[in-house]
């Protein structure tokens, strides 16, 4: 098995990406792309609480299952916007 260094850039234009990486199927790490996303600053607890705060969500524990553990069932439910039990 041969390992090759993967190129890393902060940003890259569409044409350069297509020509140098997409068509050649060469991997690339683009580390600065998320800095432009609105979600970087917009997505926080208060944002999601305002949208789905009253929605009930399943709570799951991290106990290892055995033959008697129900599969794909929540252990309990609570509203998304509640911060403590």
Domain boundaries, the chain: 1-42, 44-85
Q: Which residues of the chain have pLDDT under 50?
A: none
- And the tokens for 51? 């949208």
Global pTM reads 0.53
Write down the pLDDT at residue 21.
Answer: 98
On whether the CB atoms of residues 32 and 10 are closer than 8 A, the answer is yes
């Amino acid at each position: 098995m041969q390992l090759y260094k993967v190129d890393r850039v902060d940003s890259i234009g569409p044409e350069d990406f297509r020509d140098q990486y997409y068509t050649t199927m060469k991997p690339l790490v683009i580390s600065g792309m998320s800095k432009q996303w609105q979600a970087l600053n917009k997505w926080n607890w208060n944002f999601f609480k305002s949208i789905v705060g009253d929605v009930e969500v399943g709570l799951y524990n991290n106990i290892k299952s055995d033959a008697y553990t129900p599969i794909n069932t929540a252990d309990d439910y609570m509203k998304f916007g509640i911060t403590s039990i």
